[in-house]
Amino acid sequence: MATGKKPWGGRFRQPTAETVEKFTSSIHYDQRLYLYDIEGSIAHATMLAGQNIISKKDALKIMSALKAILSDIRQGKITFSPADEDIHMAIEKELIGRIGEAGGKLHSARSRNDQIVLDVRLFIRAEMQSILSLVDNLQRILIGLARQEIETIMPGYTHMQKAQPVLLSHYLLAFVEMFERDRQRLHECAKRINVLPLGAAALAGTGLPINRAKTAEILKFQDVSANSMDTVADRDFIAEFIFDAALIMMHLSRFCEDLILWSSDEFGFIEISDAYTTGSSIMPQKKNPDVAELIRGKSARVYGDLFSIMTLMKGLPMTYNRDLQEDKEPLFDAVDTVKDCLSVFAEMIMHTKFKKEKMFLAAQKGFAAATEIAEYLVGKQVPFRRAHEITGNIVAYCLKNKKELNDLTLKEYRQFNDRINGDILEKIKPEKAVNARGHKGGTAAKAVLQRIKEFEKNFNKK
């Protein structure tokens, strides 16, 4: 049997079995919350003293000892044991060991149930700022690349088939837009995270005269929770955050999928720096896009983290249940994974060379200008459905005769419709096709530059 007095052991007559102590302990992973646990405890002690629930003298002793404990943890002077159970009990035990009975007063008017929710909210709030900074940095890099590649033309794809010519800049900005929505979602999530749970206690609140608004003010929370039962039962904010992280990973994964394809000989659109690729243990010629592949693969981890938290919550009765101890490992994994992937992807994309000539040649092939012919005919007052059919016949003719659209003569074009004139040969050039789409959201250089300027203006306001 395990030894050691438990803070909750008053009604128990037998010590905890060692197997149970090991099985129920979370200190090996929730110790990373120590900063937030101490931050919350200092705020709680300040409020307790302000409400005369504990003396100011005891509060000062508590806060001084907590700051010393924080320093010692950071310096590696304190080690944790499974017998400590969790980070709350470990810090409380250390506190009481240093200042005696006064340390035992800190837990007045709170429970581990509202304490852990506070720690996790503070943790996510801090980590979210780091993630937002990483997203912001990646957007800036992509916007810089978009401006740099404003004349680079590439084929756009649907169904993995060449569709229409587009600017590489337009492609890059598509991901800037995706990451912008990710930023917006995180900011929205932050509003629901920034709610103080302390005061809910175990589930029903406390009969002591606490001042929740004061604690919220100290910890810079914008609001206090409205229902004590919901407060200790709620993990929606964790699920929402991991969902937002999963979407970031999905966007990174899609980008990586394209980079992996583009780095192949079959495409040859890019070359990723040697520093962000690896080789084969048996094939000397190989240069593998392993970083991109691992980011693509790690998206599955964060999806799994989301599935874990959703499954964990789906059948829990009100209010707090020990099952909720399992909420932290998927949260920590999601945070660590998305931060790592955003960081290394930003490095990799800055060390990726876009092969302009290869992209432009590809944009001239595969009948990517077919839509231009159809729209050209619409401009000649041919109904679109008829123009679509005529263009389809032209493509079929090219396939039969093993030609591209830019290989056809004006005479060949006119055999399909006599409204086609010499200007068709200019119309189907990739640069003309791209710059014909100058409307908002289009791929023309002027539209893309306008969107770049809008992003740059917004970034300068930050």
- Any idea which residues carry the catalytic annotation? 159, 280
CA distance 124 to 192: 11
CA distance 168 to 176: 13
* Rounded (10°) CA dihedral 303, 146, 352, 459: -60
CA distance 208 to 454: 53
- CB-CB contact of 259 with 292 (8 Å): yes
Burial of 341 per CB tally in 10 Å (0-12, 13-18, 19+) = buried
Amino acid type, 216: A
| Terminal alpha carbon distance of the chain | 57
DSSP 8-state class, residue 16: P
Tokens representing 160?
């993995």
**Residue that is written with structure tokens 């404990």 in the block:** 69
- CB-CB contact of 391 with 420 (8 Å): no
76 contact partners, CB below 8 Å, separation of at least 6: none
Amino acid type, 205: G
CA distance 409 to 129: 59
Nearest to 26 by CA among 80, 92, 76: 80
- CB-CB contact of 260 with 270 (8 Å): no
Cis (ω within 30 of 0) for the bond into 3?
no
CA distance 158 to 166: 12
CA distance 101 to 15: 23
State CA 95 to chain mean position distance.
Answer: 37
Per-residue buried b or exposed e for 172-191, using 16+ beta carbons within 10 Å of the residue's own CB: bbbbbebbbebbebbeebbe
E strand residue ranges, 231-362: 270-272, 352-354
Q: Quick count: other Cβ atoms within 10 Å of Cβ 231?
A: 25
Q: What angle do CA 272, 275, 277 make, to 5 degrees?
A: 55
CA distance 34 to 91: 8
